[in-house]
Chain A
Amino acid sequence: MLSSLELLISAPVLNVQLLLDGIFIGAVYALAAYGLALVWGVMNLKNLAQGDFVIMGGYLAWMLVNQGMNPFLTLPIVAIAMFAFGWAIYRIIICRVIERDLFTSLLATFGLALVMQQILNQIYGPEVQSINAGFDSLAIFGGMVTVAQVKLITLCITAVLAASLVCFMKMSRMGQAIRATAQDPRAARVMGINTDRVYAFTFALNSAICGAAGVLIAMIWVIQPFYGIPYSIRAFVIVTAAGLGNLPGVILAALGLGVAEQYAGFTLGAQLQQFTVVSLLVVVLLFKQFQRGRKRQVLQ
């Protein structure tokens, strides 16, 4: 551990590698976290199956690529398919739990996460998979740092997706309805907004965002049926740290988490990378609790 720290100091260019990798992966986390912030803020649903939607999107894309499709073409197809899937899940399960107490929805989505990861496991097997998009790597700093071109491309795609989401929420009729419902569902209902449809759309949109994130993850990293829960945890870390309805905060927290993870993996070893993520969750929760505690309030 000390030796890897020394390495970082003696070869500063390695930091660039870690920073870049952290940013590339963090950008994708930001997508999934934004989806979580959306359902959390709008329908007060803490979705523990968030990461499994991501992984499912990744597998759908992987399947399509195996059929000979261009990896980038799969993105819209997967997003649409996941949108439909999310809508169906809302109608079957979510609509029955959102009005209930929060543990109900937490546990129901946890059950959903189990079902999804096990079905993926049954269909695709437990092996680690990834999509080869067929790009080279750029070598910079005299070959000390390598950047896969595909990572750059996914970063651009993420930025475009995020920007269009923001525009959608600001401009479109549905986006306005979603924001109104988030503020006060009862008032929105009185004003003639069909909140049930808004909820369904929000959940489906979240599912589509997660699906898109999954496609990107499959291209720049690996997917495996049981990798869902860590992504859910990451999304929770990011949203809890950033707060709801705070897009710049979500992006910053996501990039920060991505970088922190890369550094932890490098200095502490790959075994402790997962540990870093989950213990960060606990740390963030406790920190928030401490902040509130001084105001005689609690996290609710």
Chain B
Amino acid sequence: MTGSLPKGILYGAILVAGFVAPILFPGYTFSIAGLWVMILLALTWDIMGGQMGYNSLGNVFFFGIGMYTCMIVQVGLFYDVAEYTAHSGAVNVHFAPGQYFTGLTLGLAAAAAVATLFALVFGQLILGLRGPYFAIGTLGVALSAGELFGAWPFVGGGGGVALPTYPGEPDDRAYFFYVLCMLLAVAAFAFLKWLYSTRFKLVANAIRDDEEKAEAMGLHTKRYKNLGFAITAFFLGISGGLYGNMIGFIEPLEVAYPVVTFGIFMIVMCLIGGKGTLWGPVIGATLFHVVRQLTWTYMLGWQWVALGGLIIVSVVFFQQGIVGWMQEKWPEWFGIRVDEKSSMDDGFEAGTAKKEAA
């Protein structure tokens, strides 16, 4: 919209604010880290949901897969996982700092890899479903994963399992995970900013608008769908591993596969901000998270009713979202305009020239 200098200043300011915020407000480190996680969830949902029109209700599947993979690697590198989980992680196991950080690094890498692998495998099956069937199918996958992990004692079952303790002060721990969450969200944003400048975005949008036409035009729709799904899973897998460690405790239904909390939040945030745009999910996530933090505890149990109401209202009355609404209001800001010039100076003749050259 404006020059590159003001934009650079904006990005710089956000980064600086991100690093400084938890130092200024140490009591809120966890809350602000949550904001970065929310931004990441919204950004990744938007790849398939907003850009490609494949509305998933079950993206938390990858989140949970990442979380459990990370846990298994972290523990499994140094102990027997079954024995560890049998005691919900309460056995007296000590992880030396070296072990802890090695485990975390490898765990996050494994989380990304395994989640991506699952995306590629499941993608073969469920990306053939369209529209509401895809939404219901992904919902089914996420719900059944939660049930399955709840009945699997090796990973702690329904009772859950605690993760290795951070070797250091609680404040350091909070800031450590805060920075990781922020860097992940920023990396995802930067990656998507680049990705949306390539052919991927155009083909994704084409699939969203008319997949049959895209097929008739010979686009490799399947590859793009698989790719989008894999990218979503990659980032969600890492964030799941991170979030599990930040919380310190994993449990299948509420933490790892939170279909009706995070799974819905990510969609609502995209809808509020404006799906199918780069900034929409970020704006929506920020707004949603701030409002949720401010009001959540004061609503005495009615917060969930309010959340459901918010979904209905945003879906029914404000589906274009903030960025979408701005696009309608000021189309020229987004380059939607009629050109003054009625035709090119050197019309179609170039076409002839090209043919002759060929």
Cβ A103 vs Cβ B316 within 8 A: no
Q: How far is the CA of A148 from the CA of B182 in the complex (A)?
A: 58
> Is the C-beta of A113 less than 8 angstroms from some C-beta in chain B?
yes
Output the least CB separation between B222 and chain A (Å): 12
Contact A300 to B311, CB < 8 A, known contacts A97-B316, A233-B140, A282-B144 = no
Q: How far is the CA of A282 from the CA of B128 in the complex (A)?
A: 12
> Is the C-beta of B247 less than 8 angstroms from some C-beta in chain A?
no
Q: How far is the CA of A298 from the CA of B305 in the complex (A)?
A: 36
> Is the C-beta of B135 less than 8 angstroms from some C-beta in chain A?
yes
Identity of the chain A residue whose Cβ is nearest the Cβ of B57 in the assembled complex: A110
Cβ B309 vs Cβ A285 within 8 A: no
Cβ B147 vs Cβ A111 within 8 A: no
Cβ B129 vs Cβ A108 within 8 A: no
Cβ B132 vs Cβ A285 within 8 A: no
Identity of the chain A residue whose Cβ is nearest the Cβ of B138 in the assembled complex: A282
> Is the C-beta of B148 less than 8 angstroms from some C-beta in chain A?
yes
Output the least CB separation between A260 and chain B (Å): 14
Cβ-neighbour of B128 out of A100, A103, A298 (below 8 A): A298
Cβ-neighbour of B312 out of A100, A101, A115, A279 (below 8 A): A115
Cβ B308 vs Cβ A114 within 8 A: yes
Which of chain A's residues have a CB closer than 8 A to the CB of B55? 103, 106-107
Contact A115 to B309, CB < 8 A, known contacts A236-B136, A281-B136, A285-B133 = yes
Contact A107 to B137, CB < 8 A, known contacts A46-B132, A122-B302, A271-B147 = no
Cβ B264 vs Cβ A108 within 8 A: no
> Is the C-beta of A278 less than 8 angstroms from some C-beta in chain B?
yes
> Is the C-beta of B116 less than 8 angstroms from some C-beta in chain A?
no
- The DSSP consensus for interface residues of chain A is helix
Cβ B151 vs Cβ A271 within 8 A: yes
* Bitwise interface map of B from 123 to 154 toward A, beta carbon under 8 Å scored 1, else 0: 00110111111011101110110011011000
> Is the C-beta of B267 less than 8 angstroms from some C-beta in chain A?
yes
Identity of the chain A residue whose Cβ is nearest the Cβ of B136 in the assembled complex: A236
Which of chain B's residues have a CB closer than 8 A to the CB of A275? 144, 147-148, 151
Contact A278 to B143, CB < 8 A, known contacts A107-B315, A118-B308, A285-B133 = yes
Contact A286 to B305, CB < 8 A, known contacts A93-B312, A97-B315, A114-B264 = no
> Is the C-beta of B86 less than 8 angstroms from some C-beta in chain A?
no
Chain B, range 295-316, C-beta contacts under 8 Å to A:
301-302, 304-305, 307-312, 315-316
> Is the C-beta of B158 less than 8 angstroms from some C-beta in chain A?
yes
Q: How far is the CA of A102 from the CA of B135 in the complex (A)?
A: 10
Chain A, range 152-174, C-beta contacts under 8 Å to B:
none
Contact A122 to B305, CB < 8 A, known contacts A298-B128, A299-B129 = yes
The winner among A269, A271, A278 for most chain B CB atoms within 10 A is: A278
Output the least CB separation between B247 and chain A (Å): 22
> Is the C-beta of A104 less than 8 angstroms from some C-beta in chain B?
yes
Cβ A107 vs Cβ B267 within 8 A: yes
Cβ B128 vs Cβ A112 within 8 A: no
Which of chain A's residues have a CB closer than 8 A to the CB of B271? 107
Q: How far is the CA of A104 from the CA of B135 in the complex (A)?
A: 11
> Is the C-beta of B260 less than 8 angstroms from some C-beta in chain A?
yes
Chain A, range 178-203, C-beta contacts under 8 Å to B:
none
Cβ B311 vs Cβ A285 within 8 A: no
Cβ A285 vs Cβ B304 within 8 A: no
Cβ B135 vs Cβ A111 within 8 A: no
Q: How far is the CA of A75 from the CA of B319 in the complex (A)?
A: 39
Which of chain A's residues have a CB closer than 8 A to the CB of B137? 281-282, 285-286
Which of chain A's residues have a CB closer than 8 A to the CB of B307? 114
List the count of A-B residue pairs having beta carbons below 8 Å apart: 124
Chain A, range 265-297, C-beta contacts under 8 Å to B:
269, 271-272, 274-275, 278-279, 281-282, 285-286, 289, 293
Cβ A104 vs Cβ B315 within 8 A: yes
Identity of the chain B residue whose Cβ is nearest the Cβ of A94 in the assembled complex: B316
Cβ B140 vs Cβ A278 within 8 A: yes
Which of chain B's residues have a CB closer than 8 A to the CB of A285? 126, 129, 133, 136-137, 140
Which of chain A's residues have a CB closer than 8 A to the CB of B150? 271
> Is the C-beta of A63 less than 8 angstroms from some C-beta in chain B?
no
Output the least CB separation between B199 and chain A (Å): 24
Cβ A106 vs Cβ B135 within 8 A: yes
Q: How far is the CA of A34 from the CA of B339 in the complex (A)?
A: 55
Cβ B158 vs Cβ A286 within 8 A: no
Q: How far is the CA of A153 from the CA of B137 in the complex (A)?
A: 35
Cβ A96 vs Cβ B136 within 8 A: no
Cβ A108 vs Cβ B316 within 8 A: yes
* Bitwise interface map of B from 233 to 262 toward A, beta carbon under 8 Å scored 1, else 0: 000000000000000000000000000100
Cβ B311 vs Cβ A46 within 8 A: no
Which of chain A's residues have a CB closer than 8 A to the CB of B126? 282, 285-286
Identity of the chain B residue whose Cβ is nearest the Cβ of A274 in the assembled complex: B147
Chain A, range 78-128, C-beta contacts under 8 Å to B:
93, 96-97, 100-104, 106-108, 110-116, 118-119, 121-122
Q: For the A-B complex with A103-B132, A111-B310, A114-B304 known, give 12 more contacts whose Cβ atoms are closer than 8 Å.
A: A97-B315, A106-B55, A107-B55, A107-B315, A108-B311, A111-B311, A115-B312, A118-B304, A282-B126, A285-B129, A285-B133, A299-B133
8 contacts between A and B (CB under 8 A): A46-B132, A107-B267, A114-B307, A118-B305, A233-B139, A271-B151, A272-B148, A282-B141
Residues of B within 8 A of A (CB): 55, 57, 125-126, 128-133, 135-137, 139-141, 143-144, 147-148, 150-151, 158, 260, 264, 267, 271, 301-302, 304-305, 307-312, 315-317, 319
Residues of A within 8 A of B (CB): 46, 93, 96-97, 100-104, 106-108, 110-116, 118-119, 121-122, 229, 233, 236, 269, 271-272, 274-275, 278-279, 281-282, 285-286, 289, 293, 298-300
